[in-house]
Structure 1
Amino acid sequence: MSVDKLLAKHQSLTHTENVRVASHTQRQDGEWVRHTLMLEGVDVPFVFKRTKPYQSLKGARVNLTYYPVTETVAGMEFEQMKVVRIKRA
């Protein structure tokens, strides 16, 4: 499905192009690998899961489609962005 179709179908999605990844961490989360990206100039983490580890994206430019979510940890709420689609720019 193209990005334009995704954005038209789901109003809460946002698409950002050609942003640089400041850090990329990967950790095992059950059967999945949880990936966390921090982008330059953005203070909110971008998260997604894959079944396998991924090559490091640190320093790479990427295109992202995402939506905001709130995760509660130890009674505190943290805002993060859930990545639906990621591609190298």
Structure 2
Amino acid sequence: MSVEKLLKRHQSLTHSENLKVVSHVQRQDGDWVRHTVMIEDVDAPFVFKRTKPYQSLQGARVNMTYYRTVETVAGMEFEQMKVVRIKRA
């Protein structure tokens, strides 16, 4: 599905291009691999899951489609971005 169709269907999605990745961490989460990506000049982490490890994105430029979500841990709220689509720029 194209980015334009995704954005039309889901109003809460945001698409950003040419973002610089400053950190990319992968860790096992049951049968999935949870990826956490930090973007230059953005304080919130971008997270997504895959069934297999992914090539390191550290230092790369990426295009992402994502939405904002809040996760509560020990009674504290943390903002994070759930990635729907990520590709190298």
**TM value normalised by structure 2:** 0.99
Are residues 1:82 and 2:82 paired?
Answer: yes
Moved over 2 A (4+): none
Paired residue secondary structure (2:57)? coil
Query: Which structure 1 segments of 5+ residues have no match?
Result: none
Identity %: 80
**Which ranges of structure 2 fall in alignment gaps of 5 or more residues?**
none
In structure 2, C-alpha distance between the alignment counterparts of 1:57 and 1:27, rounded to whole Å: 14
What displacement does 1:81 show?
0.2
1:23 to partner: Cα distance: 0.2
How far apart in 2 are the matches of 1:71 and 1:55?
26
Provide TM-score, normalisation by structure 1. 0.99
